[in-house]
Structure 1
Amino acid sequence: MANKAIGMIETKGFVALFSGCDAALKAADVSMTGWESVGSGMVTAIFEGDVASVKAGIEAAAEAAKTIGEVVSVEVIARPHEDLGKMGSFLPS
């Protein structure tokens, strides 16, 4: 994960997340590393790339997802610790 950032968006409802992911991938040079169903209708997608691209992608995702459903939270981690990759196969390693 050296010199990369990770970004996450959590929405209530898969359709909102799907729309947000589409917007993020079109708006910025990011890669989607995976998604997880959190439960109670909440789903989270994870992206990676350089810091500026991840910030731009997550902002675009949140704007698009808001038009369809509820955005629960967003987060960008600029220089994640390498051990974060051990948390799950959906995180970049």
Structure 2
Amino acid sequence: MENLNLSIGIIETTGYVAVISALDTLLNAANVEVIDKERIGSGIVVIIIAGSISNIKEAVKSAEIAIKKLNSKCRYTVIAKPHNDLWRIIP
């Protein structure tokens, strides 16, 4: 996926089940690409997705609902127009 005009969604949660549920839900909800998944420690996992702003918002919202159904914590952010330099630190 070319990064021109793409937005980024970042989702943070805890636990393997919540991560898999979030990933399945967001990929089924919108046309986005998972560009990274990283374990931070203490069970915390960060998922980074890219796509159009409308698809990112839809994907993040659906992932949040899936995570909360499992009584897990969810934090997220959407970056509509990331600076070009930001793409250098994202795999």
Give the structure 1 partner of residue 56 of structure 2.
54
Tell whether 2:12 aligns with 1:10: yes
SS, match of residue 70 in structure 1: coil
4+ aligned runs moved over 6 Å, structure 1: none
SS, match of residue 10 in structure 1: strand
Please, which runs of 5 or more residues in structure 1 have no aligned partner? none
Instruction: State the Cα distance separating 1:71 from its structure 2 match.
Output: 2.6
Backbone CA RMSD of aligned residues: 1.1
Instruction: State the Cα distance separating 1:49 from its structure 2 match.
Output: 0.4
SS, match of residue 3 in structure 1: coil
How far apart, CA to CA, are the structure 2 residues paired with 1:8 and 1:76? 6
Checking the alignment, whether the CA contact within 8 Å between 1:31 and 1:49 is kept in structure 2 is: yes
- 1:58 maps to amino acid: V
Give the structure 1 partner of residue 86 of structure 2.
84
How far apart, CA to CA, are the structure 2 residues paired with 1:74 and 1:9? 4
Give the structure 1 partner of residue 66 of structure 2.
64
TM-score by length of 1: 0.89
TM-score by length of 2: 0.90
